[in-house]
């Protein structure tokens, strides 16, 4: 097709728009090529930049040219691997894959996309630069953790779509798809935090306490208290900080659950959770550090939070709390729901908070009631830590310090709840 003047369409390109697209293509190519250049690969800055610009030009010229440039890329990859096999007796599979990705990011740039090619190039550069860390992490995975990741995918993409979306009981209490979505959300958050714990948890018991609290605060506090019983008074200080940081992590996790499921409920409980986070963090870091370094050759024993048993257990707890909360709300009013939330927080604050948020999002309770229920569940979860420390630590000093600090944290949280209730519209 030609223009009225008989000139080919390429002549009608807007110069500034063309320049912007080609510049973006060159930039995303150079970003990935920089990492390959740093590693001393055959294909470096210039090759990646040119391949990305080639893709952009092919996309701007049209589909036939795009297909032709794909053929040119294939020839380049063949020669690249032949050269590598001749010199190093190996193939450049990773570099070849990166070149293919960069080529298609260039195509996207040529089509006028901006955010997507930049995001893809950043992720690609990150994957290439984290080669050692990713390889080490992959080798450290156990068979159970690998099965957990696969199970997460099966339950999310194979089981969830076929579950009934409507209630299966005549009272409308049990909605399989909505309940399972919440189970997947909480377990997915826990599994992601577990991955972080696997990557960074060995850098200090305090840091491990925080990451462990994101996964399961009850298990983390129990582990830290048991560690004091095993190693004696020398570990009281560091265990104390780890326990308080696990409380802070619990507040962060519960706020995240509320924000994802019911943002309006988070507005109600945000002040309390934020103050609990601040108070526990300040108390943790205001204590004196240990006088001498302590051996950490025995890591915290946290298991993957996403296994079939864990998923079913959480699902049962969630359904029981949801049914109990709904019935208590219907029969006893708000105070019945609050009692269920507090008891649920002792068992699993994540489950209790998720129930409150789910009921609020379904319109069965108001965001105000859900937020108060989440506050009570979080306070109960923090308070039960005193009992866990008293049961497993066998250290009056640690029990006293944790008891005083938890009371302060709960007091600050209650103060935040009172202020929120006073300022909330009536």
pLDDT tens column, 338-378: 888 888 888 778 888 888 888 888 888 888 888 888 999 89
Tell me what pLDDT residue 54 has. 93
pLDDT of residue 320: 76
Least confident of 63-67, 80-84, 197-201, 342-346: 197-201
Query: Given pLDDT bands bounded at 50, 70 and 90, which one contains residue 1?
Result: very low
Instruction: Report the percent of the chain where pLDDT is more than 90.
Output: 15
Q: Average pLDDT, whole number, for the chain?
A: 78
In angstroms, the CA 174 to CA 79 distance is 60
> Does the structure show a pLDDT above 90 at 53?
yes
CB atoms within 10 A of CB 241: 26
CB 322 within 8 A of CB 173: yes
Query: Residue holding tokens 């009536």?
Result: 426
pLDDT on residue 194: 64
Question: Of 2-11, 52-61, 70-79, 202-211, where does mean pLDDT reach its minimum?
Answer: 2-11
Q: Cα angle vertex 268, ends 266, 271, to 5°?
A: 85
pTM over 0.85: no
Q: Which residue has the higher pLDDT, 307 or 13?
A: 13
Q: What whole-number distance in Å separates Cα of residue 102 and Cα of residue 35? A: 13
Which one is predicted more confidently, 242 or 147?
242
Q: What is the mean pLDDT of residues 11-34?
A: 85
**In the numeric block, which tokens belong to residue 125?**
């550069």
Mean pLDDT over 238-257 rounds to 86
Could you report the per-residue pLDDT of 188-222, keeping only the tens digit for each?
A: 666 665 666 566 554 555 666 676 666 667 777 87
The arithmetic mean of pLDDT across residues 50-77, rounded, is: 90
Backbone angles phi, psi at 298, to 5 degrees: -115, 95
Of 45-49, 65-69, 214-218, 403-407, where does mean pLDDT reach its minimum?
214-218
């Amino acid at each position: 097709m030609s223009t009225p003047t008989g000139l080919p369409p390429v002549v009608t390109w807007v110069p500034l728009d063309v320049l912007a697209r080609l510049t973006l293509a060159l930039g995303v190519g150079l970003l990935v090529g920089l990492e390959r250049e740093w590693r001393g690969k055959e294909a470096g800055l210039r090759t990646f930049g040119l391949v990305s610009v080639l893709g952009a030009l092919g996309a701007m010229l049209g589909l036939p040219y795009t297909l032709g440039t794909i053929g040119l890329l294939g020839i380049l990859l063949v020669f690249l691997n032949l050269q590598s096999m001749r010199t190093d007796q190996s193939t450049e599979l990773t570099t070849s894959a990166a070149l293919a990705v960069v080529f298609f990011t260039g195509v996207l740039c040529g089509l006028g996309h901006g955010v997507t090619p930049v995001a893809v190039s950043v992720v690609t550069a990150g994957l290439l630069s984290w080669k050692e860390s990713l390889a080490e992490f992959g080798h450290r995975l156990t068979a159970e953790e690998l099965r957990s990741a696969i199970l997460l995918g099966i339950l999310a993409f194979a089981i969830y779509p076929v579950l009934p979306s409507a209630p299966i009981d005549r009272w409308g209490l049990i909605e399989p798809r909505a309940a399972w979505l919440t189970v997947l959300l909480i377990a997915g958050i826990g599994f992601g935090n577990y991955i972080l714990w696997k990557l960074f948890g060995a850098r200090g018991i305090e840091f491990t306490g925080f990451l462990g609290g994101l996964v399961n605060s009850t298990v983390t506090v129990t582990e830290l208290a048991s560690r004091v019983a095993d190693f004696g008074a020398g570990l009281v200080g560091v265990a104390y900080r780890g326990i308080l940081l696990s409380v802070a992590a619990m507040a962060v996790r519960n706020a995240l659950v509320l924000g994802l499921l019911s943002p309006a409920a988070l507005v109600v409980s945000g002040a309390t959770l934020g103050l609990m986070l601040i108070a526990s963090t300040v108390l943790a870091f205001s204590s004196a550090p240990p006088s001498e370094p302590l051996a950490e050759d025995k890591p915290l024993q946290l298991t993957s939070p996403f296994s079939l048993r864990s998923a079913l257990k959480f699902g049962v707890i969630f359904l029981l709390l949801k049914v109990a909360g709904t019935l208590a709300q219907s029969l006893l009013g708000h105070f019945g729901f609050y009692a269920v939330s507090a008891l649920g927080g002792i068992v699993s604050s994540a489950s209790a908070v998720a129930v409150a948020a789910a009921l609020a999002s379904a319109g069965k309770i108001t965001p105000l009631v859900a937020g108060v229920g989440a506050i009570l569940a979080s306070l109960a979860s923090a308070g039960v830590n005193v009992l866990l420390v008293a049961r497993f630590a066998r250290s009056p000093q640690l029990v006293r310090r944790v008891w005083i600090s938890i009371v302060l944290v709960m007091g600050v949280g209650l103060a935040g709840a009172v202020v929120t209730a006073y300022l909330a519209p009536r």
